[in-house]
Chains A and B, each alone.
Chain A
Amino acid sequence: MELLQGTLDVMILKALEWGPRHGYAVSRWIKSTTRDVLTVEEGALYPALHRLRRKGLVESEWGVSENNRRAKFYALTPKGRQALAEEADSWDAYARAVDRVLKAESPGGANG
Chain B
Amino acid sequence: MRLPDGFRRTTPPELSGGGSEVEEEIRFHIESRVDELVAEGVPEAEARRRAEREFGDRAHMVRRTERESRGGGEATMRVMRWMGEAGRDVRLAMRQVRRNPGLWAAALVTLALGVGGTTSVYSVVQGVLLRALPYPDEERVVRIWPAAPDDVDGGRQSWSVPDLDDWRERSESLAAIGGYTSTLAGLVIPTESGAPEEVRTAYVTSGFFEALGTAPVVGGTLPPEAEEGDPRVVVLSQGFWQRRFGGDPDVVGQVLDAQQGAYRIVGVMPDGFGFPDPDTELWTFLANVDQTSVPWLLRQVRVFDAVARIAPRTGAADEDLATAEQELAEVARGIAADVPETNAGITSVELIPIRTAVVGDVRTPLLIVLAAVALTLLIACANVANLLLARGAGRQREFAVRASLGAGRGRLVRQVLAEGLLLGVLGGVAGMLLAAFAVPALLSRAGALIPRSQAVTVDAGVLLAALAVSVGTGLLVGLLPALRVGRRSLGAAGRGGGGSGDGVEARGLLDGLVFAEVGLAVVLLVAGGLLMRSFIELRTVDPGFEPEGLLVADMVVSGYEDAEDYIGFRDRFLQRLEALPGVLGATTAKEFPTRGMGEQWAWRLRGEPEPLPGEARTAQALHVHRDFFEVMRIPLVRGTLPGTDPELSVIINERLARSAFGSADDAVGSVMVVSGMEIPVRAVVGDVLHADPAAEPPPMIYVDDRINTRRVFAFVVRTDGDPLALAEPFQRTLTELDDRQPIRTLYTGESAYAEAVGRPRFFALVMSIFAAAAALLAAVGIYGVVAYTVRRRTREIGLRLALGANQAGVRRLVIGGALRPVLGGLVLGLLVAAGLSSVVRRLLFGIPSIDPVTYGGVAAVFLAVALLAAWVPAREASRVDPREALRAE
Which residues on A are within 8 Å of B, measured CB to CB?
A: 4-7, 19-24, 27, 41-44, 46-51, 53-54, 59, 61-67, 69-73, 75, 93-94, 97-98, 100-101, 104, 108, 110-112
Contacts and interface: CB of A to CB of B under 8 A. Distances in A.
Contact of B32 (A4, A46, A67): A67
A42 B29 contact: yes
Interface stretch (B125-133, B488-496, B516-524, B754-762): B488-496
Given A24-B33, A63-B9, A46 B490 contact: no
Interface in B1-44: 1-4, 6-13, 21-22, 24-26, 28-29, 31-33, 35
Contacts of A72: 21, 25, 28
Contacts of A104: 496
B493 to A, nearest CB: 6
Contacts of B3: 20, 61, 63, 73
Contacts of B396: 112
Contact of B12 (A5, A48, A54, A62): A62
Contact of A43 (B55, B493, B494): B55
A6 B406 contact: yes
Given A64-B9, A75-B1, 16 more contacts: A20-B1, A20-B3, A23-B26, A24-B33, A47-B61, A47-B67, A59-B1, A63-B8, A66-B6, A70-B24, A71-B28, A93-B490, A101-B401, A112-B393, A112-B395, A112-B499
B494 A51 contact: no
B459 interface: no
A50 B69 contact: yes
B68 A69 contact: no
A61 B25 contact: no
B56 A110 contact: no
Contacts of B25: 23, 46, 71-72
Contacts of A5: 406
A64 B1 contact: no
A67 B56 CA distance: 23
Which of B6, B24, B62, B65: most chain A CB closer than 10 A?
B65
Nearest to B11: A62
B57 interface: yes
Contacts of A110: 99, 394-395, 397-398
A70 B69 contact: no
Given A62-B10, A63-B9, A65-B7, A43 B394 contact: no
A73 B64 CA distance: 19
Nearest to B9: A63
B192 interface: no
Contact of A108 (B8, B28, B391, B497): B497
Contacts of A49: 65
B374 to A, nearest CB: 33
A75 B26 CA distance: 18
B61 A111 contact: no
Tell me whether chain A's interface is mostly helix, strand or loop, or mixed: mixed
Which of B6, B68, B493: most chain A CB closer than 10 A?
B68
25 contacts: A5-B406, A19-B4, A20-B3, A47-B67, A47-B68, A48-B68, A50-B65, A54-B68, A54-B74, A59-B1, A61-B1, A62-B9, A63-B8, A63-B9, A64-B7, A69-B28, A70-B13, A71-B32, A72-B28, A94-B404, A110-B397, A110-B398, A111-B391, A112-B393, A112-B394
Contact of B35 (A6, A53, A64, A67): A67
B881 interface: no
Contacts of B497: 108, 112
Contacts of A22: 28
Interface in B89-119: 99
A42 B6 CA distance: 26
Contact of B58 (A43, A71, A108): A43
Nearest to A72: B25
Nearest to A70: B13
Contacts of B10: 62-64, 70
Interface in B389-443: 391, 393-398, 401, 404-406
Contacts of B54: 41-42
B71 interface: yes
A60 to B, nearest CB: 8
Contacts of B74: 54
Nearest to A110: B398
A97 B60 contact: no
B28 A41 contact: no
Nearest to A22: B28
Nearest to A5: B406
Contacts of B889: 108, 112
A100 B497 CA distance: 13
A48 B58 CA distance: 15
B544 interface: no
Contacts of B58: 43
Contacts of A112: 393-397, 497-499, 889
B28 to A, nearest CB: 5
B71 A46 contact: no
A50 B889 CA distance: 50
Given A75-B1, A111-B391, A61 B9 contact: yes
Contacts of A73: 1, 3-4, 7
Contacts of B398: 110
A101 B404 contact: yes
Contacts of B35: 67
A44 B61 contact: yes
Contacts of A51: 68
Contacts of A7: 406
Contacts of A108: 397, 496-497, 889
A93 B400 CA distance: 12
B88 to A, nearest CB: 10
B641 to A, nearest CB: 80
A71 B28 CA distance: 6
Nearest to A19: B4
A107 B396 CA distance: 13
B879 to A, nearest CB: 21
Nearest to A27: B29
B64 A47 contact: yes
Contacts of B496: 100, 104, 108
Contacts of A67: 32, 35
Contacts of B64: 46-47
A112 B500 CA distance: 10
Contacts of B99: 110
Contacts of B68: 47-48, 50-51, 54
Contact of B65 (A24, A47, A93): A47
Contact of A42 (B55, B393, B499): B55
Contacts of B66: 50
A36 B24 CA distance: 27
Contacts of A54: 68-69, 71, 74
Contacts of B69: 50, 53-54
A51 to B, nearest CB: 4
Contacts of B1: 20, 59, 61, 73, 75
Contacts of A69: 28, 31-32
Interface in B461-504: 490, 493-494, 496-499
B215 to A, nearest CB: 61
A50 to B, nearest CB: 4
Contacts of A65: 7, 28, 32
Given A4-B406, A50-B69, A112-B394, A43 B13 contact: no
B404 A97 contact: yes
B8 A43 contact: no
A94 B55 CA distance: 29
Given A98-B404, A108-B397, A112-B393, A43 B28 contact: no
B390 to A, nearest CB: 10
Which of A23, A27, A44, A47: most chain B CB closer than 10 A?
A47
